[in-house]
Amino acid sequence: MLVLRWFLDATRVAQLAADNQLSSSTTYRYLHEGIDVLAAAAPGLHGALLAARAAGYTHVHLDGTLIRTDRSRALGPNVRVDLWWSGKHRHHGGNIQALTAPDGWPLWTSQVRPGREHDTTCARTHDGLLDTLHDWTDQTHVVLADLGYEGENTRLTCPFKAPAGGGLPVDQRAYNMLHSATRALAERGNSLLKTTFRALRRVTLCPWRIGAITAAALVLLHHDHDRTT
């Protein structure tokens, strides 16, 4: 119950400790142990893709999301860069890559990367992620991604980017419209996790724990809806 209250309502650790007559250190230990047990049951990438193929999905979506954190700053590659600061979102947080079904149902989530990193950089950093997605792709199966992954458009199916100072030809504009319409539900996966679990709206633990926290939330979501694919 302690772990569930933290995930669902983002109940403060001090309140959890008081309600359960525990010390703060013991409450933190129980919370981290619960997170680790749940995260260990999360589906792996290969398993999620095999399940997607078995479910008859012709495509899946890859998308990144920022899990916000209010932790203190950490130095990045140089003194002018804040490791966890996302310039795009104007907030501190960690980048999570999520794989979703055609209807936006979350199938798999990655480990965390610092919020300053671009989606393409994060995808490349996760060992084997892009190669595994490329191996899953064939004549009837594709991985849809947005322009945040345009550097990997040989392995992912991305929309066309308009050249500077010019427009796209008609066929490419039509392609982009179809791509956008097909991928419209991709954002549902990230939204579903954040709206269900208040703890994911702003993580107050160490940012490097965000990956395990998100994986644990995914397991709880799958269990609550009795659905994995």
Quick one: pLDDT at residue 53?
Answer: 96
The ranges assigned to domains in the chain are 1-40, 43-225
> 90-138 pLDDT, tens per residue?
889 999 999 999 999 999 999 999 999 999 999 999 999 999 999 999 9
- 119/130 Cα distance (integer angstroms): 12
Instruction: Tell me which residues of the chain have a pLDDT lower than 50.
Output: none
pTM for this entry: 0.93
Task: Print the SS3 string covering the chain.
Answer: CHHHHHHHHCCCHHHHHHHCCCCHHHHHHHHHHHHHHHHHCCCCHHHHHHHHHHCCCCEEEEEEEEEEECCCCCECCCCCCECCEECCCCEEEEEEEEEECCCCCEEEECCCEECCCCHHHHHHHCCCHHHHHHHHCCCCCEEECCHHHHHHCCCCECCCCCCCCCCCCHHHHHHHHHHHHHHHHHHHHHHHHHHHCHHHCCECCCHHHHHHHHHHHHHHHHHHHCCCC
Amino acid letter, residue 211: G
> 25-40 pLDDT, tens per residue?
999 999 999 999 999 9
Quick one: pLDDT at residue 93?
Answer: 94
